[in-house]
Structure 1
Amino acid sequence: MPRMDAAEIEGLVRRARRLAESGGRRVLGIAGPPGAGKSTLAARLVARLDGLAVLVPMDGFHLAQAELERLGRAGRKGAPDTFDAAGYVALLGRLRTAETGTTVYAPAFDRALEEPVAGAVPVPPEVPLVITEGNYLLHDEGPWAGVLPLLDEAWYLDLDDRRRVPRLVARHVRFGKAPAEAERWVERSDEVNARLVARGKSRAHLVVRGTGETP
C-alpha cells in the first residue's frame, strides 16, 4: 500500500466510518491503476471498521480464462472488455438497497488460480457499508459508466509510477510469472490499462496520494 502515516490512515478510517454511520446502505469505491494498493487499503479499512463494512472486489467479475481464450483476449486480461462490467453494475445496484433477511453473494478473484470464484463474498443485509475496489470504477465508457452513479463516494488511489511499477512486477512474480515475463506483461498490458484508468482520476471525490499527501 502507498506509504501513509498513522494520521492519514485515521483520517481515511474516519471518513469511511461517517459513511457507514450515515444511515441506510452506503457504497464506497476505491479506484486506481494496477499495483497502486487498492485491495490492501480496502482490506485495512474493513478491518478497522469493526463489522460495519464488507469488501466486494471488482476483480470478481473477471471473465474466466476459457472465455478470454475463446474471445482471443487472454493476452489483454485486465482490460475493460475482459470483465463482466454489466454484471458488476447490476450487483452494485442490488447492494445499494439492502433487503431485510437477504444475504447477497458476490464473486471474488483467486490470484493463485487467476480465476473468478462465484458466491465467495457474503454481504449480510445489516452491514451498512460496502467497500468495492478496482481499476475501472471511474471509467466512463460502455457499462462502466454506470458504476460511479452507484457510489456514495469514489476515491482514487494514486502512487508514483516509479514505486507502483516495481511493486506490480513483484506481484506477478509472486504469483508464478518469471521476472522477464512479468516485466513484459506489465509493459504491454498493465501499463496500457493504467493509462486508461488515470483518465478517470478527475471524477473522484478524493485523491489519496502515495507520497503521503491526502487532499
Structure 2
Amino acid sequence: MDTSDLPALTDRARRLAGTGARRILGIAGAPGAGKSTLAARIVEGLGASAVLVPMDGFHLAGAELERLGRTDRKGAPDTFDAAGYAALLRRLRRPDGPDAVYAPAFDRALEEPVAGSVRVPADVPLVVTEGNYLLLDEGPWAPVRPLLDEVWFLDADPALRMRRLVDRHVRFGRTRAHAERRAAGSDERNARLVERHRDRADLVVRLG
C-alpha cells in the first residue's frame, strides 16, 4: 500500500477524535481493498486516542452458516449478524458509565468470530470500524451508516485487489486454484454490491 496520503488521513481522523465526544469513523470498501491495513495504521497513528473494532467480528459462526445453507457464500451480507453490529455501534456511541465495552473480532486462522476480543475503554474518543457493508442502505444493514460520524470508501485497483484476495486465501490454507475461484466468484459479487454504495461515503480514498 502506498502510504503517501496517510499523514493527511491520520490528521483528519485526529480532528474527528478531538471534537469532545465519542466519534465513530468507518472505513468501507470491497474485499481486498486494504481496509484493515489502512484502519490499523490510522489507529496506530492516533495511539491511545483510538481503538479498532472490525465489522468482521460479526461473521456468523461456521456451524450456523452450515445450518442456514450459506457456507459457500461466506462473506455475503446475509452471512453476518448485521443487527448485532448495529447494536454494538449504538452502545459505542454512548458509553454507559466508566466500564469498557468488549467487541468481537474475526480469527482468520480459525475462520471464526471470537467474542470479547477487543476492549474499548469508555474514555477513548475515537472508534475506527472497517468492513465491506458499512454503506449499504437495505435490510438489517440500513441502520449502520447513520451510526457512523464519517465513512471513508477505500478505492483500490481491481487487479491489485484480486491479487491480495487470492494471496490471502492461500495464506489461510486454500489451494491457489480454490483461492482464485473464490476471489472471482463470491468475493467479486460482494465487491460489485459494495461499489454500488460508494456515493454514500464522505471521502473516497485512493491509495496505490
Bin the TM-score by the shorter chain: over 0.9
Matched, 1:3 2:34: no
Map 1:132-151 to 2 at 5 A: 132-151=129-148
Q: What's the Cα RMSD here?
A: 0.7
Q: Give runs of aligned pairs for residues 172-183 of structure 1, distance below 5 A.
A: 172-183=169-180
Structure 2 unaligned regions, length at least 5: none
Which residue number corresponds to residue 152 of structure 1? 149
Task: Give the TM-score of the pair, scaled to structure 1.
Answer: 0.95
Q: Aligned residue for 2:32?
A: 35
Distance 2:47 2:102 in 1: 20
Alignment partners' CA distance in 2, 1:162 and 1:62: 26
Residue of structure 2 equivalent to 1:162: 159
1:101 aligns with 2:98: yes
* Separation in 1, partners of 2:113, 2:104: 7
Count of residue correspondences = 208
Q: Which amino acid aligns with 1:154?
A: V
Shift of 1:210: 2.4
- The structure 1 segments of at least 4 consecutive aligned residues displaced by more than 4 Å after TM superposition are none
After TM superposition, list the pairs within 5 Å mapping 1:44-55 onto structure 2: 44-55=41-52
- Amino acid of the structure 1 residue aligned with 2:162: V
Q: How far has the Cα of 1:66 moved from its partner?
A: 0.5
Residue matched to 2:11: 14
Q: Which runs of 5+ in 1 are unaligned?
A: none
Query: What is the CA distance between 1:204 and its match in structure 2?
Result: 0.2
| SS of the residue 2:151 aligns to | strand
Q: Work out whether 1:199 is the aligned partner of 2:196.
A: yes
* Among 73, 89, 93, the residue aligned to 1:92: 89
Q: Are residue 80 (structure 1) and residue 87 (structure 2) matched?
A: no
Amino acid at match of 1:115: E
Supply the AA of the counterpart residue of 2:100.
T
Q: For 1:98 and 1:44, how far apart are their aligned partners in 2?
A: 24
